[in-house]
Amino acid sequence: MAQLRIAFFDFASCEGCQIEFTNYGDVATLQLLEHVEIVEFREAMTETTDGRIDVAFVEGSFTREADRARLQEIRARARTVVAYGACACTGGINALKNHQDDFAEYVYGDAARMPHLRSGTARPISAAIKVDYEVRGCPMSKDELLLVLSNLIHGTEHWVPTYPVCVECKRRETICRYDEGDHCMGQVARAGCGAPCPADGVPCEACRGFVEDANLNALERVLVDRGGLSQRRAVGKSRMFTANPRS
């Protein structure tokens, strides 16, 4: 079987999802490298390629118009584009500033008007180019990335769950955050992560985005009535990693 030529690209992000890619250990990584050839990965290598890219993994949000051309070039070079991590898939945490109008002045003061400090709305990369697969989450699940890659290598269809995180908590017998006197967004959050946060004693904040047709008015009400949050906090909470879908 021919090796898949894969490449990694990054935009506005913390690059934590790339770091997850380095965490497979020696056995799994060296086995993976028998099936894929990494042809471009700026953070880890100096080499670049002019040749074919089978799969481009793109991390980070699309925040500057100047990045559109870079994204289009990646699309033109790659047969398959995989957005990985919340920033690339939904805008992620970067989208929090989409609901503010004074963020640049707050951080840079009068210097905010310097041209290199301009930043627009944080958007998913799908706002600029067609995306074939998404690996959601903040950080993305490294096992899920491996599964996407495995499916691409074997030509099998990739499947992602459409149910909410609550299903995964029940499956692993995690006590509900609401029963612990806390709040949570697992009832409307996309599953697929295996629900690690509630099991670690912290609420789900929907880093993978919302399930389709999520009832967001009810989410706010539940956060207030059962979670004990103020209305303002409930609205803010519902936008943690999902500021774009809440606009």
Partner 1 sequence: MSQRITIDVNHLTRVEGHGNIVVNVTDGVIERCEWQIPEAPRFFEAMVRGRHYSEVARITSRICGICSIGHTLASVIATEAALGIEATPQTRRLRTLLKHAENFDSHVLHVYVLVAPDLLGAPSVFPLVQTHPDVVARALRLKRLGHEWGSAIGGRSTHPTTAVPGGFTRVPRVRDLEALRDKILAAVPDLEATVDTIAALAPAIPAFERPTEYMAVSSHDEYGLFGGFVQTILADGDRASYEVADYRSCTNEYVSPLSTAKYTRNRLGSYAAGALARFNVNADMLHPEAKRVAERLGLAPVCVNPYMNPVAQVVEIVHSVHEGLRLIDELLAAGIGDELLAEPTSCGTGAAAVEVPRGILFHEYTFDAEGICTEADCIIPTGQNHGNIQLDFEALLPQLLAQDKSEDEMRLAFEMLVRAYDPCISCSTHHLDVTFVR
Per CB under 8 A, the list member of 3, 80, 103, 194 interacting with partner 1 is: 103
Number of residues that bind partner 1 (CB under 8 A): 64
Shortest distance in whole angstroms from residue 124 CB to partner 1 = 15
The set of long-range contacts for 42-45, using a CB threshold of 8 Å and a minimum separation of 24, is: 42/8, 42/9, 42/10, 43/8, 43/10, 43/15, 43/18, 44/8, 44/18
Shortest distance in whole angstroms from residue 49 CB to partner 1 = 12
DSSP label of 101 = S
Site for partner 1 in 46-85 (CB under 8 A): 46-47, 60, 63-64, 67
Pair type for strands 36-41 and 53-59: unpaired
- Residue 233, token pair as written in the block: 């906090």
Find how far residue 110's CA is from the centre of its chain: 33
Cα separation, 45 vs 227, in Å, equals 47
For partner 1, what does the binding mask look like between residues 201 and 220, x meaning CB under 8 A? xx--x---------------
The conformational region for residue 85 under phi > 0 = left, psi -120 to 50 = alpha, else beta, is: left
- Does position 223 bind partner 1 by CB under 8 A? no
Per CB under 8 A, the list member of 200, 212, 213, 217 interacting with partner 1 is: 200
Please report, for residues 77, 179, 216, 245, the alpha-carbon distance to residue 234 in angstroms, rounded to integers and kept in the order given. 43, 18, 11, 15
Per CB under 8 A, the list member of 31, 33, 170, 247 interacting with partner 1 is: 33
Q: Which residue ranges make up the site for partner 1 (CB under 8 A)?
A: 10-20, 22-26, 29-30, 33, 38, 41-47, 60, 63-64, 67, 92-94, 96-97, 100, 102-104, 106-109, 111, 114, 116-117, 119, 138-139, 196-197, 199-202, 205, 230, 232-233, 236-237, 240
